[in-house]
């Protein structure tokens, strides 16, 4: 007998959990729900299946919500949790109504179970295949889902300036636990840094709790390493319950270079903490899903966990339900990256089923972008309500008019949507997007500055804004904004020019280093990876930061957005060494879910590595610059799921 599964309307789990998840962001006592449109699940869904019974069977129903059962168009009265049917042919229609949470169904008889063979609609009469658990829920009903937890202990406790500080040794995402010897109010001050945990006025994360004698648990997870707990009562047995997403497999890298190994391990740990219900930007802040951060996580995911469910959950939540009324996260470039990511995902994983499922949503996003562009030249500018982000850093707050990097990304998004549309058989739109990409491409040369040998930042009201930034030029290299000769010129004249403002976010270091690797500059990148991420380790980082500027001093490192501890010290986008090392130094690519191994970079020296694959893992051993072992190891659990 097959196993009955919870089934629900596809996409609704991801949408419903996402805004709830994003609303777990607090700044001290202030809730900060997501700033883009939250999409809800339908409160009512109908499940259908045509069945044929050879003998009388009893059907057991579990529903998350109130429900009704219709058999051949007639309601069954008095059906509490089971019903029986004689041999025969039937159309079963079961409608589940849940006022607050995701309506879901589980049904089983001898020969019929709820699974992908049912159909489901959200009362719109467009029946589609239902979604089911692929392992993430671990048997829980969808609306009860929480990540599993494991206990984390502090590694030392000490006094400093009259504050008792618990140090968990490294950043964690956890519910704090402690025991009180009496009922009392408790003030908890969390810190990613020791300074933040001790700064009761400025810490971004605090809890003011009314507690009972005995064991207490903070109501929400926080991202922290240090914590101070103030109470009239005596506090003991401090620990934490850390939430985690189980991984089928995790990448490993062991080289002769300890710093490189630590950079890789810390990158993996940073990404792991941010690989949760969804890929998030940071575990202290924002604890939100962001399209650009996700773009990079999508690539890192291949070389770290190869967790396609995690990718898909995040994609579905981010792209949202119809209608598209704003850019992904309101950010123009993030929308383009969402579309580019989908083409890359298809090529890397070969998961056509997901691409077919999500294509209508991607197309709607593409159509939204096109509706905002100049129909004649194809170029696009931000409107008042849009955010033209690109990056944090010098020059990046002047993004009015047609910003060059945006045009390049838009062209790439259109090219990729042309490919995806062709792949799903939507030829008319494939042609439309291909033509649009050509239109943009024809206008990119006007951003070129022959004298400087690079691209200017923007053109506003017909006037060239003759500023040169790494960001625009890096994007031109990565997303084919120009020919090979211009790319070489960019490397020489912009990227190797120290007078061009340096990049301070790991987010754009990702793109800059990838661009340099594509241009064959692995040697420079290798040194810079060790320098940039190495310096964070030198400063005691246990996870990598949202932004790092080596000219900052002391507590300056923790400030951002005008707040003393505004910076996230555990930010997914800073885990890019995972990707850069895997792709450009181990020289592994993923094509249709299979790893393709090229020549290892001699810069890595002798090393051993494990990389995940769709069906298991790949063990690599490199000696004297040559791979001496490349073993694909199939994973039983993974096989069962694929």
Binding residues vs a copy of itself (CB under 8 A): 19-20, 23, 27-38, 40, 42-44, 66-68, 75-79, 95, 97, 99-100, 122-126, 322-323, 325-326, 330, 385
For residue 395, the 8-state DSSP code is T
CB of 120 to a copy of itself, least distance (A): 13
CB of 208 to a copy of itself, least distance (A): 9
CA proximity to 155, closest of 226, 214, 101:
226
- CB of 234 or CB of 322, closer to a copy of itself: 322
Cis bond upstream, residue 546 (ω within 30): no
Neighbours of 419 (CB within 10 A): 16
Spell out the residues 6+ positions from residue 48 whose beta carbon is closer than 8 angstroms to its own.
Answer: 91, 92, 93, 94, 118, 119, 120, 121, 127
- CB of 86 or CB of 385, closer to a copy of itself: 385
- CB of 66 or CB of 466, closer to a copy of itself: 66
CB of 366 to a copy of itself, least distance (A): 16
Report yes or no: 395 and 338 within 8 Å, Cβ to Cβ: no
- CB of 31 or CB of 210, closer to a copy of itself: 31
CB of 59 to a copy of itself, least distance (A): 16
The upper half-sphere exposure of residue 507, i.e. CA atoms within 13 Å in the direction of its Cβ, equals 21
Burial 132-152 (b: 16+ CB within 10 A, else e): bbeebbeeebbbeeeeeeeeb
CB of 434 to a copy of itself, least distance (A): 25
CB of 273 to a copy of itself, least distance (A): 25
- The C-alpha torsion from 358 through 359 and 363 to 369, rounded to 10°, is 50
CB of 338 to a copy of itself, least distance (A): 17
- CB of 164 or CB of 321, closer to a copy of itself: 321
CA proximity to 103, closest of 95, 114, 111:
95
Phi, psi of 379 (to 5 degrees): -80, 160
Distance CA 457, CA 401 (A): 10
- CB of 323 or CB of 462, closer to a copy of itself: 323
- CB of 127 or CB of 269, closer to a copy of itself: 127
- CB of 245 or CB of 331, closer to a copy of itself: 331
Distance CA 227, CA 220 (A): 14
Among all chains, which residue has been given the structure tokens 């501890």? 565
The upper half-sphere exposure of residue 578, i.e. CA atoms within 13 Å in the direction of its Cβ, equals 31
CB of 166 to a copy of itself, least distance (A): 24
Distance CA 631, CA 642 (A): 20
Distance CA 282, CA 305 (A): 18
For residue 23, the 8-state DSSP code is T
CB of 44 to a copy of itself, least distance (A): 4
- CB of 566 or CB of 593, closer to a copy of itself: 566
CA proximity to 582, closest of 549, 548, 617, 615:
617
CB of 230 to a copy of itself, least distance (A): 16
For residue 218, give Cα distances in angstroms to 34, 188, 562, 622: 22, 9, 28, 47
- CB of 485 or CB of 561, closer to a copy of itself: 561
């Amino acid at each position: 007998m097959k196993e009955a599964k919870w089934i629900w309307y596809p996409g609704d789990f991801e949408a419903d959990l996402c805004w709830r998840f994003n609303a777990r962001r607090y700044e001290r006592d202030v809730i900060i729900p997501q700033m883009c449109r939250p999409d809800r699940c339908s409160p009512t869904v109908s499940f259908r299946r045509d069945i044929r019974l050879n003998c009388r069977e009893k059907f057991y129903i579990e529903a998350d919500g109130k429900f009704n059962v219709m058999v051949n168009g007639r309601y069954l009265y008095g059906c509490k949790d089971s019903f029986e049917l004689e041999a025969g042919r039937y159309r079963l229609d079961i409608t589940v109504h849940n006022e607050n949470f995701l309506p879901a169904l589980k049904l089983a008889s001898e020969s019929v179970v709820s699974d992908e063979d049912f159909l489901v609609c959200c009362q719109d009469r467009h029946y589609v295949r239902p979604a089911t658990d692929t392992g993430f829920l671990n048997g829980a009903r969808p609306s009860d889902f929480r990540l599993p937890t494991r206990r984390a202990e502090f590694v030392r406790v000490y006094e400093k300036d009259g504050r008792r500080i618990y140090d968990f040794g490294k950043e964690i995402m956890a519910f704090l636990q402690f025991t009180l010897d009496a009922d009392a109010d408790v003030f908890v001050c969390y810190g990613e840094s020791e300074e933040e945990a001790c700064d009761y006025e400025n810490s971004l994360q605090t809890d003011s709790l009314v507690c009972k004698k005995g064991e207490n648990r903070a109501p929400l997870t926080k991202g922290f390493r240090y914590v101070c707990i103030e109470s009239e009562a005596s506090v003991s047995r401090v620990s934490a319950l850390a939430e985690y997403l189980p991984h089928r497999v995790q990448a490993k890298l062991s080289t002769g270079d300890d710093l490189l190994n630590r950079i890789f391990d810390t990158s993996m740990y940073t990404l792991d903490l941010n690989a949760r219900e969804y890929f998030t930007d940071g575990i202290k802040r924002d604890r939100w899903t962001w399209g650009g951060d996700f773009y990079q996580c999508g690539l890192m995911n291949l070389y770290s966990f190869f967790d396609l469910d995690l990718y898909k959950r995040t994609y579905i939540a981010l792209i949202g339900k119809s209608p598209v009324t704003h850019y992904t996260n309101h950010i123009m470039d993030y929308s383009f990256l969402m579309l580019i990511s989908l083409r890359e995902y298809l090529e890397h994983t070969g998961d056509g089923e997901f691409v077919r499922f999500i294509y209508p949503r991607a197309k709607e996003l593409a159509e939204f972008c096109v509706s905002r562009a100049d129909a004649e030249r194809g170029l696009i500018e931000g409107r008042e309500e849009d955010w033209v982000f690109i990056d944090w850093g010098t020059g990046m707050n002047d993004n009015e008019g047609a910003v060059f990097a945006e045009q390049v990304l838009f062209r790439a998004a259109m090219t990729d949507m042309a490919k995806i549309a062709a792949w799903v058989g939507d030829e008319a739109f494939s042609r439309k997007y291909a033509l649009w990409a050509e239109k943009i491409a024809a206008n990119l040369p006007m951003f070129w500055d022959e004298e400087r040998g690079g691209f200017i930042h923007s053109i506003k009201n017909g006037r060239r804004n003759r500023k040169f930034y790494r960001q625009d030029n890096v994007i031109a290299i990565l997303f084919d904004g120009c020919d090979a000769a211009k790319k070489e010129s960019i490397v020489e004249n912009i990227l190797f020019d120290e007078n061009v403002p340096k990049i301070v976010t790991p987010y754009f270091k990702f793109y800059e280093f990838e661009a340099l690797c594509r241009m064959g500059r692995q040697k420079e990148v290798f040194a810079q990876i060790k320098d940039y991420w190495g310096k964070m380790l030198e400063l005691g980082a246990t996870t990598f930061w949202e932004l790092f500027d080596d000219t900052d001093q002391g507590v300056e490192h923790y400030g951002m957005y005008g707040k003393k501890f505004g910076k996230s010290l555990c930010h997914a986008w800073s885990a890019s060494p995972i990707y850069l090392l895997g792709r450009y130094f181990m020289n592994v690519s993923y094509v249709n879910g299979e790893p393709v191994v090229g020549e290892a970079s001699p810069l890595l020296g002798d090393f051993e590595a494990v990389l995940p694959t769709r069906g298991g893992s790949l063990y690599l051993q490199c000696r004297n610059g040559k791979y001496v072992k490349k073993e694909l190891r199939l994973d039983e659990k993974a096989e069962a799921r694929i």
